[in-house]
Amino acid sequence: MKLLITGAAGKIGRVLRQGLRGRYDWLRLTDIAPLGPAGPGEECVAADLGDLAAMERLCAGIDAVVHLGGVSEEPAENAWAQVLPANIVGVYNLFEAARRAGVRRVVFASSNHAVGFYERSQTVGVDMPLRPDGIYGLSKCFGEALGRLYADKHGMSVACLRIGSFRELPEDRRQFATWISPRDMVQLVQRCLEAPSFDFLVAYGISNNPTSFWSNDAVQWLGYRPQDSAEDHRARLEPGFPPEDPVQARFHGGSYCVMGLGKPQGRAG
């Protein structure tokens, strides 16, 4: 398999680059940020997701894409202006270039912030309506819908991963529910790349956290079996974490739900 990874210079990209090295025939790595020298079986190409022709060149001869590139959090200011080129135009360019090049499968890094306005009392599966908690989450909803279109209309195999909190260890109280460890992230992407055949799936990118707000029950067939649990770190880490404010503690998206909030009560349901 020849694999293209976008956003390969980023936090998840660097871990996947190392974790997938040697597993597939060829890794083509791309980003606008420096990627360092290419190792054996690797190729590094600088490109902007806004450049459709460059995306087409990157997708030539590729079997599968892991699409991580783009704005990876809610911008504090001018969110739409920042998110539009990378996460709306950019994700379109990537899928369209992949289609034109005959790429078989795309694994898209979506986000838990596509469903951030659910209340924490509710467990959310992979097939419930989207409830984005900001402009960034909204861009991930667009990416998921785009993936669905390319699966339905063009026969592409598409996996959308609603990644929780990718960290070495949980870094706040919310992350005991949302954490995904680096090795679980690598396993999840591997499963999505190697599962024999599917049209479209959504899965949560979380470790085996007993207090998770999300359920992957509908995608057990994928064979993702997380090895880590945030719970193993709670006793040591939790006493050092400050309490969450009430709105943060109420919704899945935590602090993202508070940013720019115009209606402090939110809406239940």
| Nearby residues of 33 by Cβ (< 8 Å), 6 or more positions away | 9, 10
| Closest-approach residue to ligand NAD (CB) | 10
Does 111 participate in binding ligand NAD (rule CB under 6 A)?
Answer: yes
- Best CA proximity match to 269, nearest among 131, 145, 113: 131
Residues 6 or more apart whose Cβ sits within 8 Å of residue 203: 126, 159, 160, 161, 162, 188, 192, 216, 219, 222, 224
Selected binder of ligand NAD within 5, 13, 114, 207 (CB under 6 A)? 13
Task: Output the smallest distance, CB 139 to ligand NAD, in A.
Answer: 8
* CA 24/CA 29 separation, integer angstroms: 13
Position 56 contacts ligand NAD (CB under 6 A): no
In whole angstroms, the minimum distance from the beta carbon of 91 to ligand NAD comes to 9
Does the protein bind ligand NAD through residue 169 (CB under 6 A)? no
Q: Which of 136, 150, 204, 224 is the catalytic position?
A: 136
Closest of 105, 174, 113 to residue 139, by C-alpha: 113
Shortest separation between residue 265's beta carbon and ligand NAD, angstroms: 26
Minimum distance from residue 122 beta carbon to ligand NAD (Å): 20
Q: Which residues pair with 5 in a beta bridge?
A: 29, 66
Residue in 5, 44, 64, 70 binding ligand NAD, rule: CB under 6 A: 70
Residue of 148, 142, 69, 156 lying closest to 109 (CA atoms): 69
Neighbouring C-beta atoms of residue 239, cutoff 10 Å: 7
- Does 141 sit near ligand NAD (CB under 6 A)? no
CA distance 41 to 29: 11
Q: Is 154 an interacting residue with respect to ligand NAD (CB under 6 A)?
A: no
Out of 69, 137, 182, 253, the only residue in the binding site for ligand NAD (CB under 6 A) is: 69
Compare residues 31 and 228 and give the one whose CB is closer to ligand NAD: 31
| Cα distance between residue 230 and residue 234, in whole Å | 7
Contact call for residues 161 and 110 (beta carbons, < 8 A): yes
Q: Is 182 in the site for ligand NAD (CB under 6 A)?
A: no
> In terms of CB distance, is 69 or 254 closer to ligand NAD?
69
Integer angstrom CA distances of residue 143 from 68, 156, 166, 207: 11, 14, 19, 23
**Matching residue, tokens 């994928």:** 222
Please tell me whether residue 109 binds ligand NAD under the rule CB under 6 A: yes
Q: Which of 4, 29, 44, 49 binds ligand NAD (CB under 6 A)?
A: 49
Candidate list 29, 31, 150, 174; residue touching ligand NAD; CB under 6 A: 31
Instruction: Select from 72, 208, 215, 255 the one that contacts ligand NAD (CB under 6 A).
Output: 72
Query: What is the C-alpha separation between 214 and 263, in angstroms, rounded?
Result: 25
Known catalytic membership, residue 24:
no
Pick the binder of ligand NAD from 3, 4, 10, 27 (CB under 6 A): 10
Q: Which residues bind ligand NAD (CB under 6 A)?
A: 7, 9-13, 31-33, 48-50, 68-70, 72, 86, 90, 109, 111, 163, 165-166
